[in-house]
Amino acid sequence: MNYHLPVLLKETVDSLVVSPGNIYIDATLGHGGHTIEILKQNAIVYGFDQDPNNLEIATQRIKSENLDKNFYPVNSNFTNIKSFLVKQKINKIDGLIADLGLSQNQQTGQNMGFSFNDSSSLDMRLNPHKQTLTAEEIINTYSFDQLYEIFTKIGQELQSKPIILKIIRERQKSPIKTGSRLAQIIRDHYKDKHLHSKIDPSTKIFLSLRIVVNNEYSNLEKLLNQSLEFVKPNGNACFITFHSGEDRIVKQFIVKNKDKLLSYKATKPSFVETKNNPLSRSAILRSYKIR
């Protein structure tokens, strides 16, 4: 199994300041890369993940490393952490990490619809059992204005208008049901207009769809606000972001709540890390200590 390669691993775990026996929440367990390092320090971890498949992969991995004694997997959205802690009668935790976005297997695999090469799905729900809206529904049923709002405001795609017109023409021929077909429509537009893009031309549109389908911005805002309530004084919260939209939300939260924080800092991956793992290039770790 090729596990997701954790980003800013040492920097994040150092910022969390782990002590044996203390309780931490990993809000985005993924394949457990960060959690494993915390468990190795004999701390207790509640690992949340919305994707049941990733939760199972991490749980098996942690068991196989004999680190499951202090590990509790939770298949839930991280916006439910507060109510979960109330149910567990845990008043406050010692620290929180959230490594936002998708794991590599989600991003590039078949059947989830996140990949430009997914030839079987345009779904994009992290948890199909608990979510209803899919990217397929957005692409095939939303009006020009609704798509324009998503692609420009969230995706910052400058070619939104002609791409949407092309999508609407294409969906009239037959419903757009796969990531690969949507990506081809976008690539064809860039090619026809001789436009060059350093990244795949589909990147911004796929990102904006994913954010809407999974409510990513409002979930992040909820988690940030809740962290002030459930992380102990002197406890740390660490957020790893991967694009400007989510990083702005974390930065603005820190600025707005400065008086409730003892300290805060931002860290970027080292040259060596970005060389070994190009996906880490856009990552920023923002951590803060609760007053």
Ligand X SMILES: C[S@@+](CC[C@H](N)C(=O)[O-])C[C@H]1O[C@@H](n2cnc3c(N)ncnc32)[C@H](O)[C@@H]1O
The site for ligand X (CB under 6 A) is made up of 4, 6, 28, 30-34, 48-51, 54, 77-78, 99, 101-103, 126, 219
Closer to ligand X at the Cβ: 176 or 283? 283
Least Å distance, CB 172 to ligand X, is: 34
**Closer to ligand X by Cβ: residue 151 or 242:** 242
Query: Least distance in Å: CB of 12 to ligand X?
Result: 8
- Strands lying side by side in the sheet with 261-267: 71-74, 44-48, 23-26, 93-99, 231-241, 284-290, 261-267
Q: Which is nearer to ligand X, 26 or 157 (CB)?
A: 26
- Lookup result for tokens 């150092």: 14
Instruction: Give the residue carrying structure tokens 């499951």.
Output: 68
**DSSP of 49-70:** -S-HHHHHHHHHHHHHTT-GGG
**Measured from the CB atom, is 152 or 277 closer to ligand X?**
277
Residue 174 token pair:
């037959």
Q: How far is the CB of 24 from ligand X (least distance, A)?
A: 13
Cα angle at 27 between 93 and 102, to 5 degrees? 165
| CA-to-CA dists, residue 224 to 166, 181, 256, 262, angstroms | 38, 36, 11, 16
In the complex, the smallest distance separating the C-beta of residue 16 from ligand X, rounded to whole angstroms, is: 12
In the complex, what is the shortest distance from the CB of residue 289 to ligand X, in angstroms, rounded to a whole number?
Answer: 21
Residue bearing tokens 């400058």 = 158
* Cα(209)–Cα(135) distance, integer angstroms: 6
* Helix (DSSP H) and strand (DSSP E) numbers for the chain: 13, 7
DSSP state of 174: S
Residue 28 C-beta: closest distance to ligand X, Å? 3
Would you say 54 or 160 has its CB closer to ligand X? 54
In the bound state with ligand X, the residue whose beta carbon lies nearer, of 140 and 277, is 277
